[in-house]
Structure 1
Amino acid sequence: MKICIFGAGAIGGYMGVKLAQAGADVSLVARGPHLAAMQQNGLTLIEDGQETTVPVTASDDASALGPQDYVIVTLKAHSVPAVVPMMQPLIADHTAIVSGVNGVPWWYFHKIGGPLEGTRVQSVDPGDAQWNGFGPDRVLGCVVYPAAEVSTPGTIRHIEGNRFSLGEPDGSKSDRALALSKALMAAGLKAPVRPRLRDEIWVKLWGNLSFNPISALTHATLDVLCTDPGTRAVTRGMMVEAQQIGEALGVKFPIDVERRIDGGAAVGAHRTSMLQDLDAGRPMEIDALVRSVQELGRITQTPTPTIDTVLALIQLRGRTAGLY
């Protein structure tokens, strides 16, 4: 089984080290100083106070790696459409594209059934770049739960979590999903195959949709924005609207809004990824995390006044910073 991780930053690098330690045939696509460090010194993981370095096959040229059984995409959502042509050398007839990307996935309406079957989500796949370039039948969904960071080039610091939930768009427990699950579990990761992966997508999206832009606008950590009465009310408003959209699409939410917000508060003084990107001068994931939900609101004819307001503010903040 050949596995390529495309976009091997913090999460992809963490997964890559674990797979390499388990003896998997894994390769990594990365760039810049991080790639150079991996090529020269291997990839280092700091986890539970232990530091481990493994040699890895890493490149910025997919054609040097050849066709794969699985291509696990761990880029930021806005970065994927532009690199679809670069990924083509990795793709053979049998290759599965594992979409480990935050936000509403580009394949969301593939095999969902009903009148919205095959609907395209332009906010995350402008021009249908992934739909046409990969083909939706290749996709295997993945909800990423670990938190990690690239502490220095070539070094990944694991913060928490080790679960990568997998799921076919049609909910089946396919051979390819079960085989990848087995490989990830052999690497010490949790990799359940879910029959209703979209439910998990929405529970994670609930937080990303609201916590991320509000934190970037206020510079508040999760414990603060989830307990301050004003920002908690805005968060609740966004989540209620998102729940109405999700339920219109057949999603079942296993917890209620208040518990989801309390869960965010319990994380503590955490700076969300969007706030980190803003401070670091990196492009912000506004479209995948917020505008995509607004788009699904339009598709389902669900009003989104709170989401619309916060989206307008964070879009302007992003444009002002030159990051959107």
Structure 2
Amino acid sequence: MRYIIIGAGAVGGAVGGRLAQAGRDVALVARGPHLAALREHGLRLRVPQGELTQRLPVVDGPGPLGELRPDDVLVLAVKTQDTVAALETWAGAPVAGGGTAAQRLPLVCLQNGVEGCRLALRRFRRVYGVCVWLPATFVEPGVVSAAGTPLTGVLHLGRVPHGTDDTARRIAADLADAHLEAPVVPDVARWQYAKLLGNLGNALEAVSGPVVSEAARALFTRVRAEGEAVLDAAGIAYADAGEQRAARGDKVTVVPLDGAPRGGGSSWQSLVRGTGTIEADYLNGEIVLLGRLHGVPTPLNELLQRLAGEFAREGRPAGSLPVAELVRLADEAVRHGS
């Protein structure tokens, strides 16, 4: 199989680089300065074992690849807000022997949240979801770091909406050879929703910095409890904390890497890079949507969704809102119910 990594940023670059290191056929899809750097210098992946450089085919879309191969696996690693554009670009790409990518090829959603999979199912027949547990950072164009050890990440994998198949097991076997563990599960959404609850803190980190102070941790506890109440009201199952600890154990421990500061999570990185967009609409916003559908108030997640969007659109510095002020805004939002 050839893996086409659509969005070779932090997570996509880490998975693509590790697969290439394991001898798998990989092509990267990127744009702008990152595309130029990958073409000129290769993908430089900084991991605890050192820096790995992979010279791989790099394209900006399906055109330069010609007809896609019947054994291609499309790995969608863009942020959810960029999903529709990516799907529109790749769905109609022709596959050797007839048909299109949407008709014939598996699409693996290597993304936070759950909305990417739903969007993909509108266009692709064979969609696979992943619960992404992989600490990675976009360092600079052409350079990605993945600081986890002994494994780079744990990626629960399954068909969407549910089930498993031979393709999932083949992908998992390739990942297992690439410093990644990919348990194949019939209920991948249950793992994705569990990860979503943790990702509700991404916006908090993005606007007010690392969630380390007592006040920040207490606020995140409230935000997560709001999310759990919504999922419970919606009848949506999610893996509990004990099950997650048992599955991950000490398999992915983050260690400092020279020349590759960990920084913050994906939302923090979006603000630092000045992308102008952020994924809060599909993390905190997922809880807001479900809350509205099932009659559960979600003032804290609404607040974080709104603030994160404002920070991204206005180019405000990551972490620049004092935690005390965020807590004040949160208390006010709860009092007013919005």
Q: TM-score range by the shorter chain?
A: 0.7 to 0.9
Post-superposition offset of 1:163: 1.5
Post-superposition offset of 1:20: 1.3
* Match status 1:94 vs 2:104: yes
Match of 2:207 in 1: 217
Question: Are the counterparts in 1 of residues 207 and 311 from structure 2 also a CA contact under 8 Å?
Answer: yes
Match of 2:302 in 1: 308
Question: Are the counterparts in 2 of residues 223 and 267 from structure 1 also a CA contact under 8 Å?
Answer: no
Determine which of 251, 264, 281 is the counterpart of 2:274: 281
Match of 1:121 in 2: none
User: How many residues are matched?
Assistant: 288
Match of 1:185 in 2: 176
* Match status 1:107 vs 2:117: yes
Q: Which runs of 5+ in 2 are unaligned?
A: 95-100, 246-252, 256-261, 318-338
SS of the residue aligned with 2:283? helix
Question: Are the counterparts in 1 of residues 117 and 128 from structure 2 also a CA contact under 8 Å?
Answer: no
Quickly say closer, same or farther: Cα 1:252–1:12, change in 2 above 3 A: closer
Q: Normalising by structure 1, what TM-score?
A: 0.79
Quickly say closer, same or farther: Cα 1:203–1:24, change in 2 above 3 A: same
Question: Are the counterparts in 2 of residues 222 and 272 from structure 1 also a CA contact under 8 Å?
Answer: no
Quickly say closer, same or farther: Cα 1:131–1:93, change in 2 above 3 A: closer
Post-superposition offset of 1:250: 3.2
- Quote the Cα distance in structure 2 between the aligned partners of 1:307 and 1:37: 37
- Quote the Cα distance in structure 2 between the aligned partners of 1:19 and 1:243: 35
Determine which of 69, 74, 79 is the counterpart of 1:71: 74
Question: Are the counterparts in 2 of residues 17 and 43 from structure 1 also a CA contact under 8 Å?
Answer: yes
Match of 1:114 in 2: none
Once the two structures are superposed, residues 221-264 of structure 1 have per-residue CA deviations (whole angstroms, 9 ceiling, x without a partner) of 1222xx22xx33332222112112223333144128xx9xxxxx
Once the two structures are superposed, residues 149-192 of structure 1 have per-residue CA deviations (whole angstroms, 9 ceiling, x without a partner) of 23233222222242221011243221111111111112231111
Match of 1:34 in 2: 34
SS of the residue aligned with 1:310? helix
Post-superposition offset of 1:77: 0.8
Quickly say closer, same or farther: Cα 1:152–1:253, change in 2 above 3 A: closer
Q: Which runs of 5+ in 1 are unaligned?
A: 109-124, 260-265
Instruction: Tell me how large the CA RMSD over aligned residues is.
Output: 2.7
Match of 2:145 in 1: 157
Post-superposition offset of 1:199: 2.2
- Quote the Cα distance in structure 1 between the aligned partners of 2:102 and 2:266: 33
Q: Normalising by structure 2, what TM-score?
A: 0.76
Determine which of 134, 141, 146 is the counterpart of 2:134: 146
Once the two structures are superposed, residues 26-61 of structure 1 have per-residue CA deviations (whole angstroms, 9 ceiling, x without a partner) of 111111222222222322222114122222111113
Match of 1:10 in 2: 10
* Match status 1:241 vs 2:244: no
Determine which of 291, 303, 311 is the counterpart of 2:285: 291
Tell me the percent identity.
30
Quickly say closer, same or farther: Cα 1:70–1:243, change in 2 above 3 A: same
